[in-house]
Amino acid sequence: GRAWHLVARPQGWPKPEDFALREEPVTEPGEGQILVRNLYMSVDPYMRGRMNESKSYVPPFSLNRPMSGGAIGEVIASRSAGFAVGDHVLHDLGWREYAVVDATRAVKADAGAAPLSAYLGALGMPGMTAYAGLFEVASFKEGDAVFVSGAAGAVGSQVGQMARLKGASRVIGSAGSDEKVRRLIEEYGFNAAFNYKKGPVAEQLAEAAPEGIDVYFDNVGGEHLEAAIGALNVHGRVTLCGAIAQYNATEPTPGPRNLVQAIGKRLRLQGMIVSDHGHLRQQFVDEVGGWIRSGELKYDETVVNGIDNAVEAFLGLLRGDNTGKMIVNLGAE
Ligand code: NDP
């Protein structure tokens, strides 16, 4: 089976030459393992950080080894009592066609309950990030006005809708195209939205939220964070979830120049890592699963076909080619 290797650590924006698609032997599973044929794999912004040398909350990818990440596949051989041939599983050995997975690191995915790809998006890690980041980290409460950046993406699209469903007084989103902005309002029910490429964020946010905001869910950092600090009301809260505007920066990026406002406004800015919030998992599955089944919460996917195009899908994600979750289909029908 083929697998994508990282062959050079990108400087700034990754280039196709930093990656190579190579043939890997498909081995039999050992005791307690399963052999999986991957059907879908995820590309996620955090993977950019793993391409750097430096240590973070996830270890860097090794050079000249298969990369890894979320994937959904079908069990084709099993030496674990918990899994049978034909089962669908979620695991973290993506970026390859076949994976030998320790059974302890695989979770069954029910193809009857939701489309399999949803377990990489709305019902998976990004959905859980939205849920934990809004309700736990930002301590969202009914009546809050919520602003989310990256609002047409996998996490952001869910944040805005969850806030609406839980009684936000106003939901505002920013995204990088007019088509995405239209979708925020018409499909996801945001009250206001703007294209951050069309003018200063602070000005557009002030117009979209004349009474200020109580929660800012930050997927972007940089100019967006500074604008949000300016717009936040007293006792406002910020979930620092991502800073994609600076993931490819080669120099340290400037901090928000207005951070001093956090004192007078008694703001709380809190970073998050989704894996800390496992205790919310069942609540997330029940509540969000219900909203999806009833049609109250929508999710989109941008699907790129074929393992050959997986790097292109990742680069496209960083450029904003996706609406909703960026998924690579490795051969699912
Ligand atoms: P998205 O689906 O939102 O895809 C990334 C999006 O980022 C693109 O579609 C693009 O949309 C936008 N973008 C790219 N460059 C810029 C820029 N310079 N300024 C503003 N927007 C930009 O990805 P995810 O939903 O998977 O992730 C969203 C954020 O959440 C990321 O920052 C990610 O790192 C973070 N994250 C954090 C987790 C945690 O545990 N802390 C867990 C999961 C995700 P556009 O067209 O609008 O520019």
Which atom of ligand 1 sits closest to the CA of residue 177? 46
All structural domains of the chain, each given as residue ranges with its CATH number in brackets, are 2-121+300-329 (3.90.180.10), 125-276 (3.40.50.720)
The one-letter code for the residue type at 258 is N
Strands 33-42 and 98-102 turn out to be antiparallel
Query: Residues 221-237: pLDDT tens digits?
Result: 999 999 999 999 999 99
Helix (H, G, I), strand (E, B) or coil at 224: helix
Strands 268-271 and 192-195 turn out to be unpaired
Which atom of ligand 1 sits closest to the CA of residue 244? 32
Count CB neighbours of 89 within 10 A: 25
Q: Report which DSSP code applies to 133.
A: I
Query: Residues 50-103: pLDDT tens digits?
Result: 999 988 888 999 999 999 999 999 999 999 999 999 999 999 999 999 999 999
From 147, 195, 219, the mutation candidate for ligand 1 (largest count of ligand atoms within 8 A of CB) is: 219
Compute, in angstroms, the gap from residue 320 CA to the centroid of ligand 1. 8
Tell me the two tokens of residue 62.
């090794």
Confidence band, pLDDT 50/70/90 cuts, at residue 212: very high
**Above 0.90 for ipTM, yes or no?**
yes
Where does ligand 1 bind, in terms of residues with CB under 6 Å?
A: 44-46, 126, 129, 150, 152-156, 175-177, 180, 219-220, 241-242, 244-245, 272-274, 317-318, 320, 322
pLDDT reading at 332 higher than 90: no
Which protein residue has the closest C-alpha to ligand 1 atom 13?
320
Compute, in angstroms, the gap from residue 150 CA to the centroid of ligand 1. 5
Q: How many helices (H) does the chain have, and how many strands (E)?
A: 9, 15
Which protein residue has the closest C-alpha to ligand 1 atom 3?
153
Compute, in angstroms, the gap from residue 34 CA to the centroid of ligand 1. 32
Compute, in angstroms, the gap from residue 242 CA to the centroid of ligand 1. 7
Which protein residue has the closest C-alpha to ligand 1 atom 43?
126
Compute, in angstroms, the gap from residue 21 CA to the centroid of ligand 1. 25
From 244, 300, 319, the mutation candidate for ligand 1 (largest count of ligand atoms within 8 A of CB) is: 244
Nearest Cα neighbor of 112 from 302, 298, 289 is 289
Helix (H, G, I), strand (E, B) or coil at 318: helix
Compute, in angstroms, the gap from residue 130 CA to the centroid of ligand 1. 12
Question: For tokens 């839980």, what's the residue?
Answer: 166
Instruction: Give pLDDT, residue 57.
Output: 86
pLDDT reading at 247 higher than 90: yes
